[in-house]
Amino acid sequence: MKVNFNRAALSEALGLLTSVVPSRTPKPILRCVQITAEEKEVRICATDLEVGINYLISEVQVEKTGEIIVPADRLAAIVRESVDEVLLLEASKGTCEIKGADSHFTIYGQEPGQYPVVPGFDGTGEIKITLGNLQAGIEQCLFAAARESSRYAINGVLWEIKDKKLMLVATDGRRLARCRVNLSSAPAKDKTPANIIVPAKAMGLLDKIGGNEKDSVTIKLVDNQILISCANVVISSNLVEGNFPKYEDIIPSDHDKKLTLSTEGALSAVRRASLLTSEESRGIKLSIEKDKLVFSSRAPETGNAQVDMPIDYKGEPIEIGFNPQFLIDALRVIKTPEFSLELGQSDRPGLIKSGTNFLYVLMPINLG
């Protein structure tokens, strides 16, 4: 194999590919990427056996076709630190040489033909959505997905397809984010299941795809896998098995205390009020009374913080505690200048709404 690469294009590809490569694995080959040079383009694949990326690079000049399997982190570091516009990769018998104008690296790889098959995208897909819509939806829900949980189903994001709308739902048991985005085309009702659970790792990769927000993303389901194609990238992932919680049951519908707040103002107030929280007292208190909202925190070993915000409110006063980081996570992804906060009793979940497409449920905490 002998290929001249545009260094920037190769670096961008490896930046995405290395995010799926496991740092620890009993199978050393999974810490590698598979590079296959075809007549006019180069295909680079990475997988951890759960999620895979199949990446096509066309900014190349292929002098000799072939295949090499090389450690991902070593190759990515060399390409990232290079100062050349063009890099030459030459490989034979499990050895890969990377040459620049003033540099020459030799990496020992593994024999070709041993790497697991990473699916490509053949035929047409059942679902189409613009990259901008999909990434906006991911941004508004992925942060709420569980990172570590014995309830495996909440380690993913629920996809609910209804007509030409895609509902994305994520929860870690203490909060829940739900957002709705428009599809460009939806599958026939008998062609695909209405609900699937996509692993959080695969969702994170989708959010990292570079490109124009108007690029089309094509999606299809094959057995227990989802295949997602956008431009020159195909992401494949096993679906999460199990039942997602019946999230509709925990969305409050009877809250009687409702107020409209400035998104920017509330985000600033929460950040400032949380500056003096500590490991022992992580919460902030929201005290709502007539025309006034007070954000406060108290830590015996640190001190007190208080931020006042004027509001238009005539209802019953209430005090409620929340994890400030959970509030910040939601407020950062709200796209509208204002949002609504709905509360019931101080031991009931709070509800944040932005427009008709974003909803966030947050469990209160006891501030003692």
Query: How does residue 129 score in pLDDT terms, banded at 50, 70 and 90?
Result: very high
For residue 191, pLDDT beyond 70: no
Query: How many angstroms separate the CA atoms of 351 and 344, rounded?
Result: 9
CATH code of 127-247, in short, is 3.10.150.10
Provide φ and ψ at 250, rounded to 5°. Answer: -100, 0
Instruction: Please say if the pLDDT value at position 105 is more than 90.
Output: yes
The answer to whether 235 touches 211, Cβ cutoff 8 Å, is no
Q: Is the pLDDT of residue 272 over 80?
A: yes
> What are the tens digits of pLDDT across the range 7-26?
999 999 999 999 999 988 89
Phi, psi (deg, nearest 5) at residue 50 = -105, -45
Would the pLDDT of 52 be above 80? Answer: yes
pLDDT at 150: 65
- In this predicted model, what pLDDT tens digit does every residue of 200-252 receive, in sequence order? 999 999 989 987 888 999 999 988 999 999 989 999 999 998 889 899 999 99
Average pLDDT over residues 87-116: 93
Rounded average pLDDT over 272-294:
90
Mean pLDDT across the stretch 145-167?
86
**Residue range 65-81: mean pLDDT, rounded:** 96
User: Please, what is the Cα angle at 209 between 162 and 20, to 5 degrees?
Assistant: 100
Q: Which residue(s) pair with 230 in the sheet?
A: 217, 233
∠ CA(272), CA(278), CA(282), 5° rounding? 75
Q: Quick one: pLDDT band at residue 300, thresholds 50, 70, 90? A: confident
Note every long-range contact of 40-46, with CB atoms under 8 Å and residues 24 or more positions apart, other chains counting. Answer: 42/3, 42/5, 44/13, 44/14, 44/17, 45/17, 45/115, 45/118, 46/17, 46/18, 46/20, 46/21, 46/72, 46/118
Alpha carbon distance 366, 320 (integer Å):
8
Q: Is 44 exposed, middle or buried (0-12, 13-18, 19+ CB in 10 A)?
A: buried
Binning pLDDT at 50, 70 and 90, where does residue 302 land?
A: confident
**Contact criterion met (CB below 8 Å) for 360 and 177:** yes
Query: Which one of 1.10.150.130, 3.60.21.10, 3.20.20.30, 3.10.150.10 gives the CATH number of domain 2-108?
Result: 3.10.150.10
- State residue 362's pLDDT score: 97
Q: Please determine, for residue 281, whether its predicted confidence score (pLDDT) is greater than 80.
A: no
Quick one: pLDDT at residue 162? Answer: 87
Mean pLDDT confidence for 69-87: 96
pLDDT-derived band at 154 (thresholds 50, 70, 90) equals confident
CA-wise closest residue to 21 among 72, 96, 74, 80? 72
pLDDT of residue 111: 81
Residue percentage of the chain with pLDDT more than 70: 98
Pick the closest to residue 323 from 362, 267, 359 (CA basis): 362
pLDDT per residue as tens digits for the range 328-357: 999 999 999 999 999 999 999 999 999 999
Three-class DSSP category at 192:
coil
Mean pLDDT, the chain, integer: 93
Give Cβ neighbours of residue 27 (< 8 Å, ≥ 6 apart): none
Q: Which CATH superfamily is domain 251-362 in?
A: DNA Polymerase III, subunit A, domain 2 (3.10.150.10)
Asked whether the domain spanning 251-362 has the same topology as the one spanning 2-108, the reply is yes
Q: Write down the pLDDT at residue 126.
A: 87
- The pLDDT, as a whole number, for residue 147 is 83
Q: What is each CA distance from 344 to 261, 287, 292, 299, 311, in whole angstroms?
A: 17, 13, 17, 26, 18
All structural domains of the chain with their residue ranges: 2-108, 127-247, 251-362
Cβ atoms of 318 and 257 closer than 8 Å: yes
Q: Is the dihedral of CA 243, 248, 251, 252 positive or negative?
A: negative
- The yes-or-no verdict on residue 28 having pLDDT over 70 is yes
Angle between helices 324-333 and 263-273 (to 10 degrees): 150
pLDDT score, position 192: 65
pLDDT for the residue numbered 233:
96
Give the pLDDT of residue 319: 96
- The CA-based angle 31-34-37, given to 5 degrees, is 160
130 contacts 218 by C-beta, under 8 angstroms: no
Q: What is the pLDDT of residue 12?
A: 95
